[in-house]
Amino acid sequence: MSLILKAAYNVGGHTVNVDMIQSSILGCRLFRPGQWLWQLFSSKTKFKVGDGRKAYSIDHPEPRLYFALCAGSYSDPAVRVYTPKRVFEDLEAAKEEYIQSTIIVHKEKKLHIPKIVDSFAKDLELCPAGVVEMIEHLLPNGLRKRIQQCRYRKYGKNIEWIPHNFAFRYLLSKELA
């Protein structure tokens, strides 16, 4: 953790570390082991007025970034290439690919959903029913039907959040492989 906190880049004469890029510039905080300790040492989530680094930050948070940022954990999304011309389409594709590859319907009773999807849903202020509906639209027909069977049960009881797995893994997307 100390190496991550110390690693920094010089961008336009300003020192910017990984935490600043994620939390202050992109407005997206990734999961990390010992996250409570990380928050004690990490930078504030907003730059002060007059701070030159503020020019790099995005105006409105983009929740789909949860499906784009990879820190090398097993539960992280695949590493992809994003282009300025197609960044929003690429982010949507990353979200769809992540959800399609990680959602598990267990015996038509419970949906097993990764915590990254929970963070995304919280940023969008989606209720459990909204999460199920969003997921439903992204899956193939066979899985969609299984989810619809779960859907009629009480929403709060049919979702189980899969904890983030911090084991090391970099998964490369199809276009990089």
pLDDT in the model for residue 145: 83
| 160 beta partners | 112
- The answer for residues whose C-beta is within 8 angstroms of residue 47's C-beta and 6 or more apart is 24, 53, 54, 57
pLDDT tens across 60-102, in order?
778 999 999 888 889 999 999 999 999 999 999 999 999 999 9
pLDDT tens across 102-111, in order?
998 887 678 8
